[in-house]
Amino acid sequence: MKILWLLVIFGSVLGLTMGLIPALTMAESAPQEAAGAAIAVACAVVPYCIARAVSMLSDSSKKDD
């Protein structure tokens, strides 16, 4: 379970360094900034949703026992 949360942290850092910072510093227009911000958010949110779903599934399976 901890590996999934480490992936969330990694995704957040990756989104910041590869998506948001370049989008804000090198973008030439608002659509380019928005695309970079969307990539940054996706890098953080997708792993979070997966980790959250797995943790909820494991919690519900413990309750069923």
Residue 62 pLDDT greater than 80, yes or no? no
The secondary element (H helix, E strand) that includes residue 18 is: none
The ranges assigned to domains in the chain are 2-60
Q: What is the pLDDT of residues 6-58, one digit of tens each?
A: 888 998 898 888 888 888 889 899 999 999 899 989 988 999 999 999 988 88
Q: Band of the pLDDT at 59, cuts 50, 70, 90?
A: confident
The pLDDT value recorded for residue 24 is: 84
Which phi and psi (to 5°) does residue 29 adopt?
A: -150, 165
The pLDDT value recorded for residue 64 is: 62
Give residues with Cβ within 8 angstroms of 37, minimum separation 6: 19, 20, 23
